[in-house]
Amino acid sequence: MRDKTVRRRRALLALLVALSLILISASFGGSGGALHTVQSGFLDVVSPVETGASKVLTPVHDLIHWVDDVFHASSQRDTYRRELAAADRKIIALQAGAQSHSDTTKLHRIDSTLQLSPDGPVDASVIEQPDGLWVSNVTINAGSGSGVHVNDPVIDPDGVIGTVTAVAPSSAIVTLLNDPNSGVAARDSSSRELGLIVPESGNNGALEMQDVSRPSEVSVGDLIVTAGERTTQNASFFPAGILIGKVTSVSATNDTVTVSPAADLTSLGTVQVLTSVPAP
């Protein structure tokens, strides 16, 4: 009984395999004309059913496509995010490079205009900005190793920013113009009036020109530059003619001249330390 079943099973398998091979041989290479007629006839019959089934299954089809698209969109979004972050980093680096280049170019133009080369200018970058309302110091990445000394004047592309007050081998602290202990001898470039630039009391962002002998000669809009001499004992010494700021108001009642600093003391980038200014 079992042998009979086995024989039957094997016979059927052999029959089906043989039938398949015959079909392959007959239809291979377009040789089976009759079979192709059967095939095209079958397609004619089945095609409408397939079309109907396709329409019925369209929502399922669309759903799977949608899921596939969502995954695809998700991976695309991740790729674009990575590319955007890389592009942002590149832009930031380029902008920083461009800003630094622009600052250096401006500084070198100032050096050339004011003939500061003998004053030993040393380029440096601010590595720590003023932190908070009461702090008016910055740290730069040049120190005694670069020839920087205490009391060296420091400028940026827009004008005077302050004086070196502490030096380490590879860094230095610059006390800005708006520090209460700061004082720079200055001159009104129009009227030639001399004075001392100090921070305006109660206003961290503005400067005041004190000790002006004839304030009435000073006008709003006048440019204030370094005097190139020590007007008082407390004044730091800067080479003459470097821009400090612009006069914003002149008070006739108490002879006060208010000056807006040319340099943005809250956001400093590339600076220059004048390391060999000859003593007055």
Partner 1 sequence: MNDATNLVLRLAALAFVSVLIQVAAVAQIRIFGVNADLAPLVVASAGFLTGALSGAAFGFGVGLFLDLAFAQTLGVFALVFTLVGYGAGRVRELRAPEAPFTPLLLGAAATAIAAVGYAILEITLGATSPVGLRLVRDILLGIALNSLIAVPVYSLVRRWLIPALPEDPRRRRRRAYTTGGLSPLSRP
Q: Using CB under 8 A, which of the segments 34-42, 87-95, 98-106, 157-165 binds partner 1?
A: 34-42
Instruction: Output the smallest distance, CB 143 to partner 1, in A.
Output: 59
Residue type, 93: A
Tokens read off for 275: 């390391």
Q: What angle do CA 96, 97, 102 make, to 5 degrees?
A: 100
C-alpha–C-alpha distance, residues 167 and 161, integer Å: 17
Nearer to partner 1, 6 or 86 (CB): 6
54 binds partner 1 per the rule CB under 8 A: yes
70 binds partner 1 per the rule CB under 8 A: no
Residues touching partner 1, count (CB under 8 A): 35
Residue type, 130: P
91 binds partner 1 per the rule CB under 8 A: no
Q: Using CB under 8 A, which of the segments 5-13, 165-173, 174-182, 249-257 binds partner 1?
A: 5-13
Give the long-range contacts of residues 93-96, CB within 8 A, separation 24 or more: none
C-alpha–C-alpha distance, residues 272 and 199, integer Å: 22
96 binds partner 1 per the rule CB under 8 A: no
Instruction: Output the smallest distance, CB 58 to partner 1, in A.
Output: 8
- Report whether 140 contacts 271 (CB < 8 A): yes
Tokens read off for 75: 């991976």
64 binds partner 1 per the rule CB under 8 A: yes
Which residues neighbour 238 within 8 Å (Cβ) at sequence distance 6 or greater? 153, 160, 184, 185, 226, 227, 228, 274, 277
C-alpha–C-alpha distance, residues 13 and 149, integer Å: 100
12 binds partner 1 per the rule CB under 8 A: yes
Instruction: Output the smallest distance, CB 83 to partner 1, in A.
Output: 23
73 binds partner 1 per the rule CB under 8 A: no
Interacting residue with partner 1 among 7, 33, 37, 40 (CB under 8 A): 40
- Report whether 194 contacts 248 (CB < 8 A): no
CA 26 to chain centroid:
73
Q: What is the DSSP letter of 173?
A: E
Instruction: Output the smallest distance, CB 97 to partner 1, in A.
Output: 42
16 binds partner 1 per the rule CB under 8 A: yes
C-alpha–C-alpha distance, residues 81 and 89, integer Å: 12
Interacting residue with partner 1 among 42, 94, 102, 214 (CB under 8 A): 42
23 binds partner 1 per the rule CB under 8 A: yes
Q: Using CB under 8 A, which of the segments 31-39, 103-111, 215-223, 240-248 binds partner 1?
A: 31-39
Nearer to partner 1, 25 or 234 (CB): 25
Interacting residue with partner 1 among 7, 33, 37, 61 (CB under 8 A): 61
C-alpha–C-alpha distance, residues 115 and 118, integer Å: 7
Provide the binding-site residues for partner 1, judged by CB under 8 A: 8-9, 12-13, 16-17, 19-28, 32, 35, 38-40, 42-43, 46, 49-51, 53-54, 57, 60-61, 64-65, 68
